[in-house]
Amino acid sequence: MADLAAQKSEWVDPISTNYRGYDVYELPPNGQGLTALLTLNILEGFDLAALSAQPDRYYHTLIEATKIAFADRNRYIADPQFAKVPVTQLLAKEYAATRRALIDPNHAIESPAPGKINVGSDTTYLTVVDKDGNAVSFINSLYESFGSGIVAGDTGIVLQDRGSGFSLDPRHPNHIEPGKRPFHTIIPAMVFKDGNS
């Protein structure tokens, strides 16, 4: 109860990368927006338009880049108040080039173990842009079906269960600790071209 009472929302600066002339913004860790940016940086070194004529190679490249970005996600993204998250290094174009070099057009990187299948989730996402160009990217999630299954008093508000993102391994950057935020998968984003959304 003390962790819930002590929780405070915070304003954060977004992280971003430029992908082929588009500035893509995401929330910083403890969320996985960094993963999307890393994937874009890896893919930027491929001529995807040319590869689209060969669907097998096109999708192979997309899948391999995503798998590599997820490997980094699983190793580095955590609550930055509890773990050193190397955001700048992970977003460096030079780093993306080293990761891109792992992609073999003729062979898949060994697959990770399959995850648990979710039978459903409760996430709401909306984007609103007004006549003046002001934009909002909003996402809210309970995570798995019915979240934690706990309702806050008589409010009807169901609490989320993002705590399932914690690890019990004390060596893992997302190991559970008091007051720590778990890794989560929420990634509201914005894309700008020449400063316009």
Give the residue numbers marked as catalytic. 123
d(Cα 99, Cα 145) in Å, to the nearest integer? 35
Q: What angle do CA 65, 44, 85 make, to 5 degrees?
A: 60
Phi-psi label, residue 174: left if phi above 0, alpha if psi -120 to 50, beta otherwise = alpha
Backbone angles phi, psi at 122, to 5 degrees: -130, 85
Contacts of 58 (CB under 8 A, 6+ apart): 48, 51, 52
Q: What angle do helix axes 55-76 and 33-43 make, rounded to 10 degrees? A: 140
53: amino acid identity, one letter? A
